[in-house]
Amino acid sequence: MASTDTAPSKDMFETVACYQCGGEAASPFVVAEEDLTGKPGRFQFVQCDACGLAYQNPRLRLENIGAYYDDEYIAHRKRTDWGVLTPLYQWAMEKHDRDKLALCEGYVSLGAGSRVLDIGCGAGTFLDRVRQASGASVTGVDFKDLSHLPWMRNIDFRLGLFYEQDFGQDHFDLITMWHFLEHDYDPLRTLRCARGLLAPGGRLVVEVPRLDSVSFRLYGNRWPGLQAPQHTALYSKASLLEMMAKAGLEVVEHLPYGAFPPYFYLFAGAAFKLLKGRGLDLSRVIHVYFLGQALLSPVLLFERRLNLAMQTVVCKVP
């Protein structure tokens, strides 16, 4: 696997046309760094002259991006020892999964006969919660193999790219993509493939960072939603809706929030501004993180109305 200790060389990149319209004419949008871990490199986002989608171009070739999803990226999800703050951290993680499930339950009722597919399932904790809460059969896809985690044995886990999986005759009552689409190398193909896997009455729930949000306006080139080089595209509300329509999906509802806590973006963006690409070691500032959250809690009560950072679309087959 390629090293990420040095900035990626030119031959590790490829140019790409607009994911939404195929257009090749684009204008510079923003240059980003790997602010989260502080790995070297500068990554260019452009904006399509034809449809307005912002996307990373050139992008790292698929075989070179894996190194950026290494242990440091995954470690935060697996880490269990946060000292005296361990219970608070665990509560926050469980709350995230609970909020995902609550969001979905507003659109689809799940029971023992239901089938749920999570694309980009990571450590699989969301699917495990779905299974425990509803008795649904759960399937997850990810190109990182975390299947050794104990609860993963309850999940039909598929390793690899989503659109290369063979699901046979299986159809799903709920398909979720939590912060997956903005990492995708072929989002339109993914969405079309997901559409084909929806059972009658099924729903697709997609959460991504929102480009036309308060946090992007605050932080610009240090916006955590850039997350270069992993994020391939940056979706405004308009471009997300356009993408769904292109994929033949009907939007049931667009929400100016998601299950992901927007406070993380508010905190990380401020830290990235201060650190200027040196990397954020969350374990060293976890006390500050939770303190800031407590101080901002009066504002965060209204987070769903403030368009802080996230957006979700709920879709069906027309």
**Smallest separation, CB 36 to Zn ion (Å):** 27
DSSP conformation class of 233: E
Among 25, 28, 42, 50, binds Zn ion (CB under 5 A): 50
Burial of 37 (0-12, 13-18, 19+ CB in 10 A): middle
Of 21 and 296, CB closest to Zn ion:
21
Burial of 284 (0-12, 13-18, 19+ CB in 10 A): exposed
Q: Measured between alpha carbons, how far is 315 from 41 in angstroms, rounded to an integer? A: 36
Of 19 and 216, CB closest to Zn ion:
19
Which residues sit opposite 311 in a β-bridge? 208
Among 51, 175, 244, 247, binds Zn ion (CB under 5 A): 51
Contacts of 140 (CB under 8 A, 6+ apart): 117, 118, 119, 121, 124, 127, 155, 156, 157, 158
Residue 188 within binding range of Zn ion, rule CB under 5 A = no
Q: Measured between alpha carbons, how far is 158 from 4 in angstroms, rounded to an integer? A: 27
Of 49 and 164, CB closest to Zn ion:
49
Among 16, 48, 193, 313, binds Zn ion (CB under 5 A): 48
**Smallest separation, CB 163 to Zn ion (Å):** 20
Interface size with Zn ion, residues (CB under 5 A): 8
**Smallest separation, CB 289 to Zn ion (Å):** 37
Q: Which residues in 3-42 contact Zn ion (CB under 5 A)?
A: 18, 20-21, 23
Q: Which residues in 53-112 contact Zn ion (CB under 5 A)?
A: 53
Q: C-alpha 242: how far from its chain's center?
A: 18
Task: Provide the binding-site residues for Zn ion, judged by CB under 5 A.
Answer: 18, 20-21, 23, 48, 50-51, 53
